[in-house]
Chain A
Amino acid sequence: MKILVAVKRVIDYNVQIRVKEDNSGVVTDNVKMSTNPPDDNAIEEAVKIKEAGKATEVVAVSIGEEKAQETVRKALAVGADRGILVKTEGIVEPLSVSKLLQKIVEKEKPDLVFMGKQAIDDDCNQTGQMLSALLNWPQATFASKIEIKDGKLEVTREIDEGLETIEINVPAIVTCDLRLNEPRYASLPNIMKAKKKPIEQLNASDLGVDISPRIEQIKVEEPPKRKAGIKVSSVSELVQKLKNEAKVI
Protein backbone atom coordinates (compact mmCIF):
# COMPACT_ATOMS: atom_id res chain seq x y z
CA MET A 1 0.00 0.00 0.00
CA LYS A 2 1.19 3.47 -0.85
CA ILE A 3 0.36 6.53 1.24
CA LEU A 4 0.48 10.11 0.03
CA VAL A 5 0.65 12.72 2.78
CA ALA A 6 -0.08 16.39 2.12
CA VAL A 7 1.77 18.87 4.33
CA LYS A 8 1.43 22.65 4.51
CA ARG A 9 3.94 25.26 5.61
CA VAL A 10 2.31 27.71 8.02
CA ILE A 11 3.28 30.27 10.65
CA ASP A 12 4.41 28.36 13.74
CA TYR A 13 1.58 27.90 16.22
CA ASN A 14 3.54 29.60 19.02
CA VAL A 15 3.97 32.83 17.09
CA GLN A 16 1.77 35.78 18.03
CA ILE A 17 0.09 36.79 14.78
CA ARG A 18 0.52 40.42 13.68
CA VAL A 19 -1.67 42.08 11.10
CA LYS A 20 0.08 44.18 8.44
CA GLU A 21 -0.36 47.91 8.77
CA ASP A 22 -1.99 48.18 5.35
CA ASN A 23 -4.49 45.44 6.34
CA SER A 24 -3.49 43.32 3.35
CA GLY A 25 -2.74 40.25 5.42
CA VAL A 26 -0.63 39.07 8.33
CA VAL A 27 3.10 39.57 8.73
CA THR A 28 5.06 36.55 7.49
CA ASP A 29 8.50 38.11 6.91
CA ASN A 30 11.07 36.94 9.46
CA VAL A 31 8.42 34.88 11.21
CA LYS A 32 9.09 31.29 12.26
CA MET A 33 7.35 28.83 9.95
CA SER A 34 6.58 25.17 10.67
CA THR A 35 4.56 22.26 9.42
CA ASN A 36 0.85 22.68 10.05
CA PRO A 37 0.44 20.75 13.36
CA PRO A 38 -2.17 18.15 12.33
CA ASP A 39 -0.14 17.47 9.16
CA ASP A 40 2.60 16.24 11.50
CA ASN A 41 0.05 13.74 12.84
CA ALA A 42 -0.73 12.70 9.26
CA ILE A 43 2.94 12.00 8.49
CA GLU A 44 3.40 10.20 11.81
CA GLU A 45 0.45 7.91 11.13
CA ALA A 46 1.64 7.08 7.62
CA VAL A 47 5.14 6.28 8.88
CA LYS A 48 3.72 4.13 11.69
CA ILE A 49 1.66 2.16 9.18
CA LYS A 50 4.76 1.62 7.07
CA GLU A 51 6.77 0.54 10.12
CA ALA A 52 4.02 -1.97 10.93
CA GLY A 53 4.61 -3.49 7.49
CA LYS A 54 1.24 -2.39 6.14
CA ALA A 55 2.51 0.20 3.69
CA THR A 56 5.39 0.09 1.24
CA GLU A 57 5.95 3.75 0.51
CA VAL A 58 5.16 7.12 2.07
CA VAL A 59 5.29 10.15 -0.24
CA ALA A 60 5.07 13.67 1.18
CA VAL A 61 3.64 16.44 -1.00
CA SER A 62 3.44 20.15 -0.33
CA ILE A 63 1.90 22.95 -2.33
CA GLY A 64 3.36 26.35 -1.76
CA GLU A 65 6.28 28.64 -2.32
CA GLU A 66 9.86 27.42 -2.87
CA LYS A 67 10.50 27.43 0.89
CA ALA A 68 7.79 24.81 1.42
CA GLN A 69 10.62 22.47 0.46
CA GLU A 70 11.67 22.69 4.14
CA THR A 71 8.28 21.30 5.14
CA VAL A 72 8.68 18.39 2.72
CA ARG A 73 12.23 17.85 4.00
CA LYS A 74 10.94 17.65 7.56
CA ALA A 75 8.46 14.96 6.52
CA LEU A 76 11.36 13.05 4.95
CA ALA A 77 13.33 13.40 8.18
CA VAL A 78 10.59 11.67 10.18
CA GLY A 79 10.24 8.80 7.76
CA ALA A 80 8.64 9.70 4.43
CA ASP A 81 10.51 8.06 1.53
CA ARG A 82 10.39 10.83 -1.02
CA GLY A 83 8.85 14.22 -1.60
CA ILE A 84 7.00 16.32 -4.13
CA LEU A 85 6.78 20.10 -4.13
CA VAL A 86 4.24 21.87 -6.30
CA LYS A 87 5.40 25.45 -6.49
CA THR A 88 2.79 28.21 -6.28
CA GLU A 89 2.77 31.86 -5.35
CA GLY A 90 0.34 33.85 -3.22
CA ILE A 91 -2.86 32.53 -1.72
CA VAL A 92 -3.92 29.17 -3.09
CA GLU A 93 -7.46 28.38 -2.02
CA PRO A 94 -8.38 24.89 -0.77
CA LEU A 95 -10.36 24.23 -3.97
CA SER A 96 -7.21 24.86 -6.02
CA VAL A 97 -5.07 22.83 -3.63
CA SER A 98 -7.44 19.91 -3.94
CA LYS A 99 -7.36 20.15 -7.75
CA LEU A 100 -3.55 20.12 -7.71
CA LEU A 101 -3.56 17.18 -5.30
CA GLN A 102 -6.01 15.39 -7.58
CA LYS A 103 -3.41 15.62 -10.37
CA ILE A 104 -0.71 14.28 -8.05
CA VAL A 105 -3.01 11.42 -6.97
CA GLU A 106 -3.70 10.53 -10.62
CA LYS A 107 0.04 10.39 -11.22
CA GLU A 108 1.14 8.66 -8.01
CA LYS A 109 -1.86 6.35 -7.60
CA PRO A 110 -1.70 6.11 -3.79
CA ASP A 111 -4.09 3.88 -1.86
CA LEU A 112 -4.49 6.42 0.90
CA VAL A 113 -4.12 10.17 1.14
CA PHE A 114 -3.57 11.62 4.61
CA MET A 115 -3.48 15.26 5.67
CA GLY A 116 -4.30 17.41 8.69
CA LYS A 117 -7.95 18.17 9.30
CA GLN A 118 -7.39 21.91 9.05
CA ALA A 119 -4.57 24.35 8.44
CA ILE A 120 -4.01 26.74 11.33
CA ASP A 121 -3.48 29.74 9.06
CA ASP A 122 -6.66 30.09 6.99
CA ASP A 123 -8.65 27.69 9.23
CA CYS A 124 -10.66 26.55 6.21
CA ASN A 125 -11.02 22.82 6.94
CA GLN A 126 -11.85 21.99 3.31
CA THR A 127 -9.02 20.40 1.34
CA GLY A 128 -9.42 16.74 2.33
CA GLN A 129 -13.16 16.73 1.79
CA MET A 130 -12.80 18.55 -1.53
CA LEU A 131 -10.16 16.14 -2.76
CA SER A 132 -12.34 13.17 -1.90
CA ALA A 133 -15.26 14.78 -3.73
CA LEU A 134 -13.12 15.34 -6.84
CA LEU A 135 -11.89 11.73 -6.75
CA ASN A 136 -15.25 10.35 -5.60
CA TRP A 137 -13.41 8.51 -2.82
CA PRO A 138 -14.61 7.89 0.74
CA GLN A 139 -13.57 10.50 3.29
CA ALA A 140 -12.79 10.01 6.96
CA THR A 141 -12.40 13.44 8.50
CA PHE A 142 -11.12 14.41 11.98
CA ALA A 143 -9.63 10.95 12.53
CA SER A 144 -8.41 10.09 16.02
CA LYS A 145 -7.87 6.37 15.39
CA ILE A 146 -7.17 4.40 12.21
CA GLU A 147 -7.24 0.61 11.94
CA ILE A 148 -6.42 -1.24 8.73
CA LYS A 149 -8.63 -4.30 8.15
CA ASP A 150 -8.45 -6.29 4.88
CA GLY A 151 -8.36 -3.50 2.37
CA LYS A 152 -10.64 -1.35 4.48
CA LEU A 153 -10.06 1.22 7.14
CA GLU A 154 -11.97 1.54 10.35
CA VAL A 155 -11.67 5.15 11.42
CA THR A 156 -12.78 6.78 14.65
CA ARG A 157 -13.77 10.41 14.09
CA GLU A 158 -13.90 13.25 16.60
CA ILE A 159 -17.35 14.81 16.26
CA ASP A 160 -19.10 17.42 18.40
CA GLU A 161 -21.26 14.81 20.13
CA GLY A 162 -18.33 12.49 20.94
CA LEU A 163 -16.87 9.80 18.70
CA GLU A 164 -18.07 8.23 15.50
CA THR A 165 -16.70 5.12 13.82
CA ILE A 166 -16.95 4.53 10.09
CA GLU A 167 -15.61 1.87 7.75
CA ILE A 168 -14.28 3.01 4.40
CA ASN A 169 -12.99 1.20 1.35
CA VAL A 170 -9.52 1.94 0.02
CA PRO A 171 -8.59 4.16 -1.83
CA ALA A 172 -9.64 6.85 0.60
CA ILE A 173 -8.85 10.21 2.12
CA VAL A 174 -8.23 10.61 5.84
CA THR A 175 -7.91 13.99 7.57
CA CYS A 176 -6.14 13.76 10.88
CA ASP A 177 -7.00 15.18 14.28
CA LEU A 178 -4.28 16.13 16.78
CA ARG A 179 -5.41 13.24 18.97
CA LEU A 180 -4.47 10.62 16.38
CA ASN A 181 -0.93 10.10 17.65
CA GLU A 182 2.10 11.79 19.15
CA PRO A 183 4.36 12.98 16.30
CA ARG A 184 8.02 12.04 16.73
CA TYR A 185 10.92 14.40 16.54
CA ALA A 186 13.43 13.94 13.75
CA SER A 187 16.76 12.61 14.99
CA LEU A 188 19.95 14.25 13.75
CA PRO A 189 21.04 11.18 11.72
CA ASN A 190 17.60 11.08 10.10
CA ILE A 191 17.74 14.79 9.31
CA MET A 192 21.09 14.12 7.57
CA LYS A 193 19.66 11.13 5.72
CA ALA A 194 16.62 13.17 4.62
CA LYS A 195 18.94 15.53 2.77
CA LYS A 196 19.70 12.71 0.35
CA LYS A 197 16.10 11.74 -0.25
CA PRO A 198 14.65 13.01 -3.54
CA ILE A 199 12.17 15.89 -3.81
CA GLU A 200 10.52 16.28 -7.19
CA GLN A 201 9.70 19.89 -8.01
CA LEU A 202 6.83 20.91 -10.23
CA ASN A 203 5.17 24.18 -11.10
CA ALA A 204 1.44 24.42 -10.59
CA SER A 205 1.15 25.50 -14.24
CA ASP A 206 2.71 22.17 -15.33
CA LEU A 207 -0.34 20.41 -13.95
CA GLY A 208 -2.82 22.29 -16.11
CA VAL A 209 -5.01 23.47 -13.25
CA ASP A 210 -6.54 26.93 -13.01
CA ILE A 211 -5.66 28.06 -9.50
CA SER A 212 -6.66 31.70 -9.75
CA PRO A 213 -8.44 32.81 -6.55
CA ARG A 214 -12.22 32.95 -6.48
CA ILE A 215 -12.29 34.80 -3.20
CA GLU A 216 -11.11 38.37 -2.89
CA GLN A 217 -9.52 39.15 0.44
CA ILE A 218 -10.68 42.72 0.99
CA LYS A 219 -8.92 43.34 4.28
CA VAL A 220 -7.44 41.66 7.31
CA GLU A 221 -7.87 43.28 10.70
CA GLU A 222 -6.91 42.76 14.31
CA PRO A 223 -9.66 41.21 16.41
CA PRO A 224 -11.52 43.72 18.57
CA LYS A 225 -9.52 44.32 21.74
CA ARG A 226 -11.09 43.49 25.07
CA LYS A 227 -11.38 46.32 27.52
CA ALA A 228 -8.79 45.94 30.23
CA GLY A 229 -10.30 44.26 33.25
CA ILE A 230 -9.52 44.68 36.90
CA LYS A 231 -7.80 42.61 39.53
CA VAL A 232 -9.89 41.77 42.54
CA SER A 233 -8.25 41.23 45.92
CA SER A 234 -10.41 38.44 47.31
CA VAL A 235 -12.91 35.78 46.44
CA SER A 236 -15.70 37.65 48.19
CA GLU A 237 -14.96 40.75 46.13
CA LEU A 238 -15.02 38.59 42.99
CA VAL A 239 -18.39 37.11 43.87
CA GLN A 240 -19.84 40.55 44.70
CA LYS A 241 -18.62 41.93 41.34
CA LEU A 242 -20.02 38.99 39.43
CA LYS A 243 -23.35 39.34 41.16
CA ASN A 244 -23.80 43.10 41.34
CA GLU A 245 -21.66 44.55 38.54
CA ALA A 246 -21.50 41.92 35.80
CA LYS A 247 -24.80 40.35 36.91
CA VAL A 248 -23.83 36.92 35.62
CA ILE A 249 -24.45 34.86 38.75
Chain B
Amino acid sequence: MSVLLIAEHNNQELKPFTLNAATAASQIDNDVHAVIIGNKCDEAAKALSKLEFVKKVIQVEADYYENFVAENFAPVIVKLADNYSHIISSANTFGKNLMPRIAAALDTSQISDITKVIAPDTFLRPIYAGNAFATVKSKDTKKCVTIRPTSFDACESSGGSAAIEKAEASEEFSKTKFVKREEVKSDRPELGTARVVVSGGRGMQSGDNFKLITSLADKLNAAIGASRAAVDAGYISNDHQVGQTGKVVVPDLYIAVGISGAIQHLAGMKESKVIVAINKDGEAPIFSVADYGLEADLFEAVPQFLEELNKLNTIQK
Protein backbone atom coordinates (compact mmCIF):
# COMPACT_ATOMS: atom_id res chain seq x y z
CA MET B 1 0.00 0.00 0.00
CA SER B 2 1.01 3.61 -0.47
CA VAL B 3 2.37 6.15 1.95
CA LEU B 4 0.49 9.35 2.74
CA LEU B 5 2.63 12.43 3.36
CA ILE B 6 1.04 15.40 5.13
CA ALA B 7 2.32 18.60 3.53
CA GLU B 8 3.14 21.61 5.66
CA HIS B 9 2.66 24.96 3.97
CA ASN B 10 1.40 28.51 4.48
CA ASN B 11 -1.27 28.29 1.73
CA GLN B 12 1.11 29.91 -0.78
CA GLU B 13 4.31 27.96 -0.39
CA LEU B 14 5.41 24.62 0.96
CA LYS B 15 7.34 24.71 4.20
CA PRO B 16 10.86 23.39 3.58
CA PHE B 17 10.57 20.39 5.92
CA THR B 18 7.89 18.91 3.65
CA LEU B 19 10.78 18.12 1.29
CA ASN B 20 12.65 16.22 3.99
CA ALA B 21 9.50 14.34 4.96
CA ALA B 22 8.97 13.39 1.29
CA THR B 23 12.42 11.81 1.24
CA ALA B 24 11.66 9.84 4.40
CA ALA B 25 8.32 8.72 2.96
CA SER B 26 10.03 7.52 -0.23
CA GLN B 27 12.36 5.34 1.85
CA ILE B 28 9.31 3.50 3.22
CA ASP B 29 7.51 3.00 -0.09
CA ASN B 30 7.91 4.28 -3.66
CA ASP B 31 4.28 5.19 -3.98
CA VAL B 32 4.14 8.46 -2.04
CA HIS B 33 0.90 10.43 -2.10
CA ALA B 34 0.77 13.84 -0.46
CA VAL B 35 -2.21 15.55 1.09
CA ILE B 36 -2.42 19.31 1.36
CA ILE B 37 -5.12 20.78 3.58
CA GLY B 38 -5.58 24.53 3.47
CA ASN B 39 -7.49 27.50 2.17
CA LYS B 40 -6.85 28.79 -1.36
CA CYS B 41 -3.69 26.76 -1.45
CA ASP B 42 -3.43 26.10 -5.22
CA GLU B 43 0.11 27.47 -5.46
CA ALA B 44 1.36 25.29 -2.64
CA ALA B 45 -0.48 22.28 -4.12
CA LYS B 46 1.26 22.88 -7.46
CA ALA B 47 4.64 23.05 -5.74
CA LEU B 48 3.81 19.78 -3.98
CA SER B 49 2.92 18.09 -7.29
CA LYS B 50 6.38 18.94 -8.63
CA LEU B 51 8.30 17.31 -5.78
CA GLU B 52 10.54 14.39 -6.54
CA PHE B 53 8.93 11.21 -5.07
CA VAL B 54 5.35 12.56 -4.95
CA LYS B 55 3.10 10.47 -7.23
CA LYS B 56 -0.27 12.01 -6.40
CA VAL B 57 -1.52 15.10 -4.58
CA ILE B 58 -4.80 15.29 -2.70
CA GLN B 59 -5.95 18.84 -2.07
CA VAL B 60 -8.59 19.58 0.56
CA GLU B 61 -9.80 23.12 1.03
CA ALA B 62 -12.10 25.07 3.33
CA ASP B 63 -11.82 28.49 4.95
CA TYR B 64 -11.44 26.83 8.35
CA TYR B 65 -8.29 25.10 7.13
CA GLU B 66 -6.55 28.47 6.77
CA ASN B 67 -4.66 28.20 10.04
CA PHE B 68 -3.78 24.51 10.39
CA VAL B 69 -5.88 23.74 13.47
CA ALA B 70 -5.18 20.07 14.27
CA GLU B 71 -8.77 19.43 15.35
CA ASN B 72 -9.85 20.33 11.80
CA PHE B 73 -7.02 18.56 9.98
CA ALA B 74 -7.13 15.20 11.76
CA PRO B 75 -10.56 14.04 10.50
CA VAL B 76 -9.50 14.70 6.88
CA ILE B 77 -6.48 12.43 7.22
CA VAL B 78 -8.43 9.79 9.14
CA LYS B 79 -10.94 9.67 6.28
CA LEU B 80 -8.16 9.16 3.72
CA ALA B 81 -6.23 6.69 5.86
CA ASP B 82 -7.98 3.53 4.60
CA ASN B 83 -5.91 3.59 1.42
CA TYR B 84 -2.54 3.93 3.10
CA SER B 85 -0.13 1.80 5.08
CA HIS B 86 1.75 4.77 6.56
CA ILE B 87 0.99 8.38 7.40
CA ILE B 88 4.06 10.61 7.54
CA SER B 89 4.77 14.14 8.67
CA SER B 90 7.64 16.17 10.06
CA ALA B 91 8.28 16.08 13.80
CA ASN B 92 8.20 19.86 14.09
CA THR B 93 5.50 21.71 16.00
CA PHE B 94 3.09 21.23 13.06
CA GLY B 95 3.44 17.46 12.93
CA LYS B 96 3.81 17.01 16.69
CA ASN B 97 0.53 18.80 17.23
CA LEU B 98 -1.34 16.94 14.51
CA MET B 99 -0.11 13.35 14.16
CA PRO B 100 -1.05 11.95 17.61
CA ARG B 101 -4.61 13.16 17.05
CA ILE B 102 -4.71 11.09 13.87
CA ALA B 103 -2.98 8.09 15.44
CA ALA B 104 -5.38 7.94 18.39
CA ALA B 105 -8.38 8.14 16.08
CA LEU B 106 -6.92 5.24 14.07
CA ASP B 107 -6.01 3.33 17.25
CA THR B 108 -2.37 3.27 16.20
CA SER B 109 0.64 3.61 18.45
CA GLN B 110 2.58 6.45 16.85
CA ILE B 111 6.33 6.39 16.28
CA SER B 112 7.70 9.89 16.85
CA ASP B 113 10.72 11.68 15.49
CA ILE B 114 12.49 8.93 13.57
CA THR B 115 16.01 9.57 12.31
CA LYS B 116 16.25 6.53 10.06
CA VAL B 117 14.02 4.11 8.15
CA ILE B 118 15.43 0.62 8.73
CA ALA B 119 12.49 -1.25 7.19
CA PRO B 120 8.90 -0.21 6.45
CA ASP B 121 7.94 -1.30 9.97
CA THR B 122 11.26 -0.64 11.75
CA PHE B 123 12.75 2.71 12.60
CA LEU B 124 15.54 4.34 14.56
CA ARG B 125 14.60 7.13 16.95
CA PRO B 126 16.40 9.13 19.61
CA ILE B 127 15.17 8.86 23.19
CA TYR B 128 16.33 10.75 26.28
CA ALA B 129 17.06 13.76 24.08
CA GLY B 130 19.44 11.83 21.88
CA ASN B 131 21.39 10.30 24.77
CA ALA B 132 20.24 6.91 23.51
CA PHE B 133 18.82 5.55 20.26
CA ALA B 134 16.03 2.99 20.13
CA THR B 135 15.35 0.64 17.24
CA VAL B 136 11.60 0.08 17.26
CA LYS B 137 9.27 -2.11 15.25
CA SER B 138 5.62 -1.26 14.85
CA LYS B 139 3.09 -4.09 15.10
CA ASP B 140 0.17 -1.89 14.05
CA THR B 141 -1.24 -2.51 10.57
CA LYS B 142 -1.38 1.22 9.92
CA LYS B 143 1.65 3.24 10.97
CA CYS B 144 1.74 6.87 11.98
CA VAL B 145 5.30 8.17 11.86
CA THR B 146 6.82 11.61 12.36
CA ILE B 147 10.31 12.19 11.01
CA ARG B 148 13.14 14.37 12.27
CA PRO B 149 13.60 16.73 9.29
CA THR B 150 17.32 17.31 9.79
CA SER B 151 17.98 13.56 9.56
CA PHE B 152 16.68 13.30 5.99
CA ASP B 153 17.86 15.25 2.95
CA ALA B 154 15.38 17.52 1.25
CA CYS B 155 14.08 16.02 -1.99
CA GLU B 156 14.29 17.87 -5.32
CA SER B 157 11.61 20.53 -5.62
CA SER B 158 11.21 19.91 -9.34
CA GLY B 159 10.99 16.97 -11.68
CA GLY B 160 7.75 15.52 -10.36
CA SER B 161 4.45 15.84 -12.21
CA ALA B 162 1.84 14.38 -9.89
CA ALA B 163 -1.84 14.76 -10.65
CA ILE B 164 -3.75 16.95 -8.19
CA GLU B 165 -7.04 15.50 -7.01
CA LYS B 166 -9.51 17.41 -4.88
CA ALA B 167 -11.13 15.73 -1.89
CA GLU B 168 -14.04 16.80 0.22
CA ALA B 169 -13.55 18.82 3.40
CA SER B 170 -14.57 17.41 6.76
CA GLU B 171 -16.90 19.21 9.11
CA GLU B 172 -15.51 22.17 11.05
CA PHE B 173 -14.47 21.62 14.67
CA SER B 174 -16.11 24.64 16.24
CA LYS B 175 -14.66 24.41 19.77
CA THR B 176 -11.19 25.61 18.74
CA LYS B 177 -10.66 29.00 17.13
CA PHE B 178 -7.45 30.38 15.74
CA VAL B 179 -6.79 33.90 17.05
CA LYS B 180 -3.40 35.03 15.79
CA ARG B 181 0.13 34.06 14.91
CA GLU B 182 3.15 36.20 15.72
CA GLU B 183 6.00 35.04 13.55
CA VAL B 184 9.48 36.07 14.46
CA LYS B 185 10.72 37.85 11.36
CA SER B 186 14.40 37.94 10.71
CA ASP B 187 16.83 38.46 7.85
CA ARG B 188 18.93 35.71 9.32
CA PRO B 189 18.70 32.08 8.35
CA GLU B 190 16.26 30.12 10.49
CA LEU B 191 17.86 28.38 13.47
CA GLY B 192 16.56 24.95 12.47
CA THR B 193 17.96 25.07 8.92
CA ALA B 194 20.97 27.42 9.08
CA ARG B 195 24.31 26.26 7.69
CA VAL B 196 26.12 28.03 10.52
CA VAL B 197 24.89 28.61 14.07
CA VAL B 198 26.61 30.85 16.61
CA SER B 199 25.36 30.30 20.17
CA GLY B 200 26.00 32.10 23.43
CA GLY B 201 25.67 30.80 26.95
CA ARG B 202 25.76 32.02 30.50
CA GLY B 203 29.37 33.09 29.92
CA MET B 204 28.03 36.06 27.92
CA GLN B 205 27.13 37.58 31.31
CA SER B 206 24.47 39.94 29.95
CA GLY B 207 21.99 40.46 27.15
CA ASP B 208 24.03 43.42 26.00
CA ASN B 209 27.08 41.23 25.48
CA PHE B 210 25.07 39.11 23.05
CA LYS B 211 25.99 41.82 20.54
CA LEU B 212 29.25 39.91 20.17
CA ILE B 213 27.31 36.82 19.12
CA THR B 214 25.23 38.93 16.73
CA SER B 215 28.35 40.42 15.10
CA LEU B 216 29.90 37.00 14.65
CA ALA B 217 26.64 35.63 13.26
CA ASP B 218 26.40 38.60 10.84
CA LYS B 219 29.88 37.89 9.59
CA LEU B 220 29.18 34.19 9.02
CA ASN B 221 25.59 34.59 7.82
CA ALA B 222 24.63 32.42 10.76
CA ALA B 223 21.58 31.88 12.90
CA ILE B 224 21.83 32.84 16.57
CA GLY B 225 21.42 30.19 19.22
CA ALA B 226 21.60 30.16 23.00
CA SER B 227 21.83 27.75 25.87
CA ARG B 228 18.95 27.33 28.27
CA ALA B 229 21.02 29.05 30.94
CA ALA B 230 21.32 32.17 28.76
CA VAL B 231 17.58 32.13 28.05
CA ASP B 232 16.70 31.60 31.70
CA ALA B 233 18.99 34.48 32.66
CA GLY B 234 17.02 36.68 30.27
CA TYR B 235 19.94 37.43 27.91
CA ILE B 236 17.94 36.41 24.83
CA SER B 237 14.45 35.27 23.90
CA ASN B 238 13.54 31.62 24.15
CA ASP B 239 13.03 31.04 20.42
CA HIS B 240 16.85 30.96 20.20
CA GLN B 241 17.22 28.09 22.64
CA VAL B 242 19.15 25.06 21.43
CA GLY B 243 18.85 21.84 23.41
CA GLN B 244 16.60 19.13 24.75
CA THR B 245 13.90 21.66 25.62
CA GLY B 246 14.62 23.97 22.67
CA LYS B 247 15.56 23.32 19.08
CA VAL B 248 17.71 20.51 17.77
CA VAL B 249 20.14 21.86 15.17
CA VAL B 250 22.49 20.08 12.77
CA PRO B 251 24.45 22.83 10.99
CA ASP B 252 27.74 22.42 9.12
CA LEU B 253 29.36 24.67 11.71
CA TYR B 254 28.25 25.22 15.30
CA ILE B 255 30.13 27.77 17.38
CA ALA B 256 29.46 27.59 21.12
CA VAL B 257 30.61 30.70 22.96
CA GLY B 258 30.62 30.79 26.75
CA ILE B 259 28.56 27.59 26.88
CA SER B 260 29.64 24.99 29.43
CA GLY B 261 27.86 22.15 27.65
CA ALA B 262 25.14 20.83 29.96
CA ILE B 263 23.66 17.49 28.86
CA GLN B 264 20.49 19.29 27.89
CA HIS B 265 22.37 21.65 25.53
CA LEU B 266 24.56 18.95 23.98
CA ALA B 267 21.41 17.04 23.08
CA GLY B 268 20.44 19.86 20.76
CA MET B 269 23.69 20.37 18.86
CA LYS B 270 26.08 17.46 19.11
CA GLU B 271 25.16 16.08 15.69
CA SER B 272 26.50 19.27 14.06
CA LYS B 273 29.18 18.53 11.46
CA VAL B 274 31.87 20.77 12.93
CA ILE B 275 31.71 22.10 16.47
CA VAL B 276 33.81 24.96 17.81
CA ALA B 277 33.87 25.78 21.53
CA ILE B 278 35.21 28.96 23.04
CA ASN B 279 35.30 28.84 26.82
CA LYS B 280 37.71 29.96 29.47
CA ASP B 281 37.10 26.86 31.58
CA GLY B 282 39.28 24.18 30.00
CA GLU B 283 37.35 21.48 31.86
CA ALA B 284 33.95 22.50 30.46
CA PRO B 285 32.07 19.48 29.03
CA ILE B 286 31.50 21.34 25.75
CA PHE B 287 35.14 20.55 24.86
CA SER B 288 34.33 16.83 24.86
CA VAL B 289 32.17 17.27 21.74
CA ALA B 290 34.13 20.11 20.12
CA ASP B 291 36.24 19.46 17.03
CA TYR B 292 38.12 22.67 17.74
CA GLY B 293 38.30 23.95 21.28
CA LEU B 294 39.72 27.31 22.23
CA GLU B 295 40.36 27.82 25.90
CA ALA B 296 40.15 31.60 26.13
CA ASP B 297 38.25 34.56 27.49
CA LEU B 298 35.42 35.03 25.03
CA PHE B 299 35.52 38.80 25.44
CA GLU B 300 38.99 38.75 23.91
CA ALA B 301 38.55 35.80 21.57
CA VAL B 302 35.34 36.84 19.83
CA PRO B 303 36.61 40.31 18.78
CA GLN B 304 39.80 38.63 17.51
CA PHE B 305 37.69 36.08 15.68
CA LEU B 306 35.84 38.93 13.95
CA GLU B 307 39.13 40.55 13.01
CA GLU B 308 40.50 37.32 11.57
CA LEU B 309 37.32 36.79 9.60
CA ASN B 310 37.61 40.32 8.22
CA LYS B 311 41.04 39.40 6.92
CA LEU B 312 39.58 36.51 4.96
CA ASN B 313 37.75 37.50 1.83
CA THR B 314 36.30 34.18 0.91
CA ILE B 315 33.42 33.96 3.33
CA GLN B 316 30.52 32.14 1.80
CA LYS B 317 27.21 33.86 1.91
Q: Name A's B-contacting residues (CB within 8 A).
A: 11, 13-14, 16-17, 19, 26, 37, 93-96, 98, 120-134, 137-139, 141-142, 154, 157-169, 172, 178-179, 213-223, 226-232, 234-236, 238-239, 241-243, 246, 248-249
Contact = CB atoms under 8 A, between A and B. Distances in A.
Q: Output the residue of B98, B176, B177, B273 with the most chain A CB within 10 A.
A: B176
A165 B180 contact: yes
B132 A222 contact: yes
Given A231-B293, A235-B301, A166 B179 contact: yes
B100 A133 contact: yes
Given A123-B113, A242-B276, A218 B137 contact: yes
B299 interface: no
Given A130-B104, A249-B253, A217 B136 contact: yes
Contacts of B74: 133
Interface stretch (B54-62, B206-214, B238-246): B238-246
Interface string B127-167: 11111111111111000000000000000000000000000
Q: Output the residue of A19, A226, A248 with the most chain B CB within 10 A.
A: A248
A214 B139 contact: yes
Contacts of A154: 179
Contact of B96 (A26, A141, A168, A232): A141
A220 B103 contact: no
Nearest to A118: B96
B111 interface: yes
A248 B292 CA distance: 12
Task: Give the interface residue-count category, chain B.
Answer: 35 or more
Interface in B111-130: 111-113, 122, 125-130
Contacts of A219: 134-135
Nearest to A168: B176
Nearest to A235: B304
Q: Output the residue of A122, A130, A249 with the most chain B CB within 10 A.
A: A249
Nearest to B69: A166
Given A95-B104, A130-B101, A166 B270 contact: no
Nearest to A154: B179
A158 B220 contact: no
18 contacts: A11-B128, A26-B132, A94-B100, A162-B239, A165-B179, A166-B178, A214-B109, A218-B122, A219-B135, A222-B132, A223-B133, A235-B296, A235-B308, A236-B304, A238-B308, A242-B253, A246-B291, A248-B196
A238 B270 contact: no
Contacts of A98: 104
